[in-house]
Chain A
Amino acid sequence: MVDSRKYENSVSIAITGSGGAGVITAGTMLLKAAAKAGWYGLFTRSSGPQIRGGEAAAMVRLDRQPVAAPGENFDILIAIDWHNIERFAVELPLNQHSLVIADPSQGDVPDVIADSGARILEIPLKELAKKIKKGRQNMIALGVLRALIGLNEDIVDQVMVHLLAKREESALIASRDAVVLGGQAVEHAGLAMAQQEVPADGSDRWLISGNEAAGLGALRGGIRFVAAYPITPATELLEWMAPNLKKVGGALVQAEDELASINMIIGASYGGIPALTATSGPGLALMTESFGLAVASEVPIVVVDVMRGGPSTGIPTKSEQSDLNIALFGLHGDAPHLVVAPNSVSDCVFTTQWAVSLAEATQTPTIVLSDQLLGQAKAIIDPPADLAFVTKRATSATVDESFRRYALSGSGVSSMSIPGTAGGQYTADGLEHDESGLPSSQVKDHVAQLDKRADKLDGFDFGDHWATIEGDSPLAIISWGSTTATVREALARLEKQGRHFKLIAPRLLAPARPLEMAAALEGVERAISIELSHSAQFYRYLKGYFEISCPVQSYHRPGPLPFRTNELCEVIMNWSAS
């Protein structure tokens, strides 16, 4: 029996349909309306391999509390049609408490759906849409969902007015009528929920994707030049940057390939302008040689890697945490650099801003490891605070004869002269060099400059930002990146059952912080590391580079399916009971 009141505090909804059915539009409108009605939420999408059109699923999770992880069992699945549904079935777990809205004109409910035991409610979406001039099934579906979860009618209307502002008025009228008809169908079935009150607070919340959040963090950090080569799933970050950089006096250039984009940002940063590019695994692989150039020549740059399934072309539209090894170890030579990872959509803002600050302060190239799950999810979040970092790049406005670009200093950070500064001329070089920058293959220069570049990071005070640490328990979960969001939800659920765990999620992955990790693990008797990687890259990194005196187990599996909360609850319970 479906009890619609259970949607009052949280609900997971999936809308599926073939290309052109408008499921993404319906999902987006639902999310925006829910945001205005005071919900927190997360929107993810799944689509087939087609460039345009093709079947798609919009997955919307709404909650009264902030959410950072995708839903697990869907409470409501509404299918505009069943085209290629078997491709999505595994991503849309249902159970006997779920409600499936099916259009009888689209044929029988496929076994992959019906076998879940979910209650099936037939609503003739297509027939209802035909009753309206220019009526569309996706807007009927929106009306159905509105009534099922008791979303305020006026708010849904506001969202439609806003999103359809550029279309002719008939489109708005048709959509309004469709939403009303959809709602009536739910009322006839006796499943309509009374419209919920809209709380007064919450109106300052943001609706933002992880890719946009990383872009915003970059701008907050001072990035003013971006070179871009399109690649899924990082393209939206670059496309968001293009117009928004202009608003703050910066600019973006489209490069001919990733070899060019990284060299362009090295050139811009050498010229004194903080610079960034974004890419995914294949692009990062192409960039590694020049990333090493930025290490050797001490030019700060930021590369955001929005990870996808690998190796090679892999699974471009799905998430995986399998670029950790190349980010940590992909460079030739001894090449100290920074790798940081955000652990939620909201944290994409902070971590990218922090990355810019770290890169500039240490004159060291920095990789931000985001992933498809974070990057392409849209979340309703509280506005993330702007932590204005004070440490800027060390530059010299005036230079005397004693100036040496790569002078040895206590911290390893030496002053950088920016082109245009008289007397500060030097040649930045990928060749090993002496303090003045001149090529040298001498032992003393090589050792001194290797030490200098390592010292910059070893001695840097990363503060508390190096990791997110929550809870206290002799049992610790260690995770990183987007996985942390789901771990957090699992731990919150277990907490309600009286089971306590400690969460340690390093945000700073390189340089490794073994002492901080040892401190975080004080009092911990056992730990388990959790990651989305076939070869347990993170676990092996922990074992090899950190001082962990307690036994550590690993739970790892590849993408493309993200972790679900119940999966991790089970993993953690089994591990803690063993």
Chain B
Amino acid sequence: MSVKSAPATPYTARDYKSDVKPVWCPGCGDYTVLSSISKALAELALPPEDVAIISGIGCSSRIPAYLNTYGFHGVHGRSLALATGLKLSRPDLTVLVTGGDGDGFSIGGNHFLHACRRNVDMTYIVMDNRVYGMTKGQPSPTTEPDWDSALSPGGTGLRPFNPLVIALASGANFIARGFSGDPNGTAKLITEAIQAPGFSFVEVLSPCVTFRPDQRDWKKIVRPSPVDPTEDIGRAARRLMTDDGFNLGVLYTGKREPFRLAEHHGESDMTGLEQQFVI
């Protein structure tokens, strides 16, 4: 699904931004992800009042307040569950979930599995910087095993979690990887993710220049995926299992029907319902 520039949309990216100044450090990758999200919303011409951005806790989870849409900045790790309740009861809304690797894959890991599996029509954007930034530098599930920190001196010794493989295995319908240093490319991925039915997962490599200054080098490593997106889950699995985590683009698009609850039919007669109790 390609996104063409212009037919003029009534909105610009600016219309989606609030006046609130982010708490992020200068140079944080999340600034451009914020811009990419507003660009995508403008591209799709979604009225801000019909969009809800849901998040948990962490640097990137601060995003809802920086946008002029509806938002919910909830507790740590539960954003996908809150978004699921909202989207299932209000299917008319466009629901996005934003957060980081600790929020999504550690404390929120179970909800990640089940959100992929449930395949509700929403878009999950994880700004992966392989570190807990808000608590000042602890390893997350995607951190390299030998990364040294005060909490895990000498490294955790644990193999990093591969979120894209897990998303695929759990049933996500759209899987992509972006890089915050490429805001236009990321905006395009997010646009496609929102348009794709079902649960869309976009991992955005978003460097933490404060606690992971080594990630400044990511811009030299990332590259567009050398192959086109696939609808073949086996092929996608092989690609995702064997790539080095720096291939960018749409990596898998599935054809699963999104999960919906039965449509609301308005009030029915409570008296009729209560007849079941009459002896």
Chain A residues in the interface with B (C-beta under 8 A): 32, 35-36, 203-208, 212, 216, 219-220, 224-225, 227, 244, 246-253, 255-257, 259-261, 263-273, 275, 289-290, 292-293, 297, 380, 383, 386, 419-431, 437-439
Contact B49 A424 (CB under 8 A): yes
The winner among B20, B70, B111, B270 for most chain A CB atoms within 10 A is B70
A207-B277, A425-B68, A431-B73 known; A420+B93 contact, CB < 8 A: yes
Considering only residues 44-59 of chain B, those with a C-beta below 8 Å from chain A are 47-50, 52, 54
> Chain A at the B interface: mostly helix, strand, loop or mixed?
mixed
Q: Which residues of B contact A257 (CB under 8 A)?
A: 110
* Cα of A438 to Cα of B261 in the assembled complex, Å: 33
Given known A290-B74, A421-B49, A427-B72, contact A260–B84 (CB-CB < 8 A): yes
Q: Is the CB of A249 within 8 A of B84?
A: no
Q: How far is the CB of B163 from chain A (nearest CB, A)?
A: 17
Nearest CB in chain A: distance from B89 CB, A: 4
Interface positions of B (Cβ within 8 A of A): 20, 47-50, 52, 54, 64-65, 68-75, 77-78, 81-90, 92-93, 110-111, 113-114, 261-262, 264-268, 270, 272-274, 277-279
- Given the complex, which residues of A lie within 8 Å of B68, measured CB to CB? 425
Q: Contacts A270-B72, A290-B75: A263 and B82 contacting too (C-beta < 8 A)? A: yes
Residue among A35, A212, A426 facing the most chain B CB atoms (10 A cut-off): A426
Q: Is the CB of A430 within 8 A of B88?
A: no
Q: Judging by beta carbons under 8 Å apart, are B273 and A271 in contact? A: no
Most interface-central of B72, B87, B88, B90 (chain A CB within 10 A): B72
- Known A-B contacts A206-B279, A419-B49; A426 and B85 likewise in contact (beta carbons under 8 Å): no
Nearest opposing residue in chain A for B77, CB measure? A259
CB-based contact A297/B72 at 8 Å: yes
Q: Which residues of A contact B72 (CB under 8 A)?
A: 266-267, 270, 297, 427-429
- Determine which of B77, B88, B265 lies in contact with A268 in the assembled complex, contact meaning CB atoms within 8 Å: B88
Q: Which residue in A212, A224, A250, A267 is a CB contact (below 8 Å) of B82?
A: A267
Do the beta carbons of A267 and B73 come within 8 Å of each other?
no
Residues of B within 8 A of A203 (CB): 279
Do A430 and B110 have beta carbons less than 8 Å apart? no
Contacts A420-B49, A428-B72 given; indicate if A275 touches B279 (C-beta within 8 A).
no
Which residue in chain A gives the minimum CB-CB distance to B87? A267
New contact pairs (11) apart from A421-B49, A423-B49, CB-CB < 8 Å: A203-B279, A207-B277, A207-B279, A227-B85, A249-B266, A252-B261, A260-B111, A275-B89, A290-B78, A424-B70, A430-B75
| Cβ–Cβ contact A206 & B50, under 8 A | no
Please tell me if the beta carbons of A438 and B93 are within 8 angstroms of each other in the complex.
no
Separation of A208 and B93 alpha carbons in the complex (Å): 38
With A and B bound together, what is the CA distance between A426 and B67 in angstroms?
9
CA distance A1 to B261 in the complex (A): 61
- Bound-state CA distance A81–B69 (Å) is 66
Question: Separation in Å of the B67 CB from the closest CB of chain A?
Answer: 8
Taking CB as reference atom, which chain B residue is nearest A256? B114
Is B84 a contact of A267 with CB atoms below 8 Å? yes
A219 to B78, Cβ gap below 8 A?
A: no
**24 A-B pairs in the complex with CB atoms less than 8 angstroms apart:** A36-B279, A206-B279, A225-B89, A227-B85, A244-B273, A248-B267, A248-B268, A249-B267, A251-B261, A256-B114, A257-B110, A259-B77, A263-B78, A264-B84, A264-B88, A266-B85, A268-B90, A270-B72, A271-B86, A293-B74, A419-B52, A420-B49, A428-B73, A439-B65
- Find the B residue at minimum CB distance from A225: B89
Are B277 and A427 touching (Cβ within 8 A)?
no
Instruction: Give the docked Cα–Cα distance between A250 and B241 (Å).
Output: 41
A206 touches B70 (CB 8 A): no
Q: Is B75 a contact of A248 with CB atoms below 8 Å?
A: no
A424-B49 Cα distance, complex, nearest whole Å: 7
Q: Which 8 A-B pairs have the closest CB atoms?
A: A267-B85, A264-B85, A427-B71, A267-B86, A263-B81, A260-B81, A251-B261, A268-B89
Residues of chain B within 8 A of A439, CB atoms compared: 65, 73
